[in-house]
């Protein structure tokens, strides 16, 4: 396919997603409020019963599922477009074989859960093809359509939140993907050694290439599991992650908290940005539906996990679980438009 057709098609899909976000969601929310008047629904099951015959909800769900499918796998989708250009894209990357910013493991084996589902409807997942990192990076640009160019604002805000109690000497970014969450740290904290880990070699390669182009000397990307690293005990002042926990089964989430406790120095902090706080039954109903329609099987187990209790059991203190405002002007409690339930999960190692 030619570039112009691809860009035009992706723009149409993005415009349709904005319509879904700003027009269809408010219409569904208003319809629900009318149906719920006087009935006080107490669970997502009550909401489902109220909306079981709703044409608006059926259209809402259809669009959510199939706009994502078209974005990735349609005739002008991200997957076919980038795979047609695989040679050129991989050839554009610098030779990182002797670069200390990147450490891949040719014998690395992914966890079974990671390869079982095409998460986000990304064909084959972010690990399976040499251009998967490029596909993931392009797809991330329209994951939250109302942010637009403010995506950088979201990650900058997380960086500010993570370092508000002090700038770390060494930090670890877990599940770094193609480096979008890591960049604000190595870019702004020039005296901090930033370590970043992920399972997907194609994403790590892209992240390291970006750092190399910027001539960043304080970051290293390594292929390993967040819950099974080879770092020494008590070797970091700060551990972060962005949208990692909801991609893992509950057992692995627990192991990740264990690993945070192991590698953090006494008094060290961890700050995870994820999807957790669901303030009412309607928000829960929408979130659980998104989990199914976007191939996100572990969103629900995270939502049902008592995270505070899990952290307390591991000896963490100063635990904070609070809504996160991803951009200026966002109403985190009652947004008129669809948004992820962004949540900061932070704690201190005793």
For residue 104, being part of any structural domain is answered with: no
Domain count for the chain? 2
Per-residue tens of pLDDT for the chain, all 350 residues:
999 999 999 999 999 999 999 999 999 999 999 999 989 899 999 999 999 999 999 999 999 999 999 999 999 999 999 999 999 999 999 999 999 999 999 999 999 999 999 999 999 999 999 999 999 999 998 777 666 555 558 999 999 999 999 999 999 999 999 999 999 999 999 999 999 999 999 999 999 999 999 999 999 999 999 999 999 999 999 999 999 999 999 999 999 999 999 999 999 999 999 999 999 999 999 999 999 999 999 999 999 999 999 999 999 999 999 999 999 889 998 899 999 999 999 999 99
Residue 112 within any structural domain of the chain: no
Report yes or no on 127 lying in a domain: no
Judgement on whether residues 156 and 284 belong to the same structural domain of the protein: yes
The answer to whether residue 163 sits within a structural domain is: yes
Helix ranges restricted to H, the chain? 3-19, 25-36, 44-50, 55-73, 78-84, 86-91, 112-116, 132-140, 151-162, 183-188, 201-213, 250-263, 281-293, 299-303, 307-313
Q: Both 23 and 161 in a single domain?
A: no
Question: ∠ at Cα 132 (131, 138), nearest 5°?
Answer: 95
Q: What is the pLDDT of residue 144?
A: 72
Last residue of a domain, one of 55, 76, 97: 76
pTM of the model: 0.95
| Domain range enclosing 240 | 148-175+226-349
Instruction: Dump the DSSP string for 190-237.
Output: TTSEEEEEES-HHHHHHHHHHHHHTT--SEEEEESBTTB--PPTT-EE
| Residues 189, 168 contacting (CB under 8 angstroms) | yes
Let me know whether 26 and 164 are in one domain.
Answer: no
Q: Cα(6)–Cα(76) distance, rounded to whole angstroms? A: 5
Q: Are residues 232 and 314 in the same domain?
A: yes
* Residue among 135, 152, 156 nearest 203 (CA): 135
171 in a structural domain: yes
Q: Distance between CA 52 and CA 47 in Å, rounded?
A: 8
Rounded to whole angstroms, how far apart are CA atoms 250 and 308? 14
| Among candidate residues 297, 298, 295, 286, the one with its CA nearest the CA of residue 341 | 286
Asked if residue 163 and residue 39 are part of one domain, the reply reads no
Q: Whole-angstrom Cα distance, residue 158 to residue 244?
A: 14
Measured CA to CA, the distance from residue 171 to residue 215 in angstroms comes to 19
Question: Which residue among 56, 76, 96 closes a domain?
Answer: 76
């Amino acid at each position: 396919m030619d570039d112009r057709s691809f860009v035009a098609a992706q723009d149409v899909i993005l415009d349709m997603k904005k319509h879904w976000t700003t027009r269809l969601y408010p219409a569904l929310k208003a319809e629900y409020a009318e149906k719920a008047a006087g009935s006080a629904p107490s669970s997502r099951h009550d909401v489902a019963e109220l909306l079981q015959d709703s044409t608006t909800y059926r259209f809402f769900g259809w669009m959510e599922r199939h706009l994502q499918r078209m974005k990735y796998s349609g005739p002008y989708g991200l997957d076919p477009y980038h795979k047609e250009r695989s040679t050129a894209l991989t050839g554009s990357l610098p030779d990182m074989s002797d670069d200390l910013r990147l450490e891949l493991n040719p014998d690395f084996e992914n966890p079974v859960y990671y390869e079982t589902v095409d998460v986000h409807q990304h064909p084959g997942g972010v690990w399976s093809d040499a251009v998967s990192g490029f596909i993931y990076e392009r797809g991330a640009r329209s994951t939250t359509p109302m942010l637009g160019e403010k995506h950088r604002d979201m990650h900058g805000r997380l960086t500010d939140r993570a370092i508000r109690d002090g700038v770390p000497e060494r930090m670890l970014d877990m599940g770094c993907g193609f480096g979008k969450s890591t960049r604000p740290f190595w870019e702004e904290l020039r005296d901090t050694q930033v370590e970043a880990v992920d399972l997907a070699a194609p994403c790590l390669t892209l992240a390291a290439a970006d750092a190399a182009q910027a001539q960043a000397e304080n970051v290293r990307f390594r292929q390993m599991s967040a819950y099974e690293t080879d770092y020494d005990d008590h070797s970091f002042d700060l551990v972060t992650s962005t949208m990692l926990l909801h991609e893992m089964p509950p057992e692995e989430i627990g192991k990740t908290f264990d690993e945070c406790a192991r590698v953090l120095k006494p008094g060290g902090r961890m700050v995870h940005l994820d999807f957790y706080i669901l303030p009412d039954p309607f928000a829960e109903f929408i979130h659980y539906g998104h989990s199914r329609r976007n191939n996100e099987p572990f969103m629900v187990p995270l939502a049902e996990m008592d995270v505070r209790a899990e952290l307390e059991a591991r000896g963490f203190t100063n635990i904070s679980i609070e809504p996160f405002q991803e951009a200026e002007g966002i109403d985190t409690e009652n947004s008129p438009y669809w948004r992820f339930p962004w949540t900061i999960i932070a704690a201190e190692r005793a």
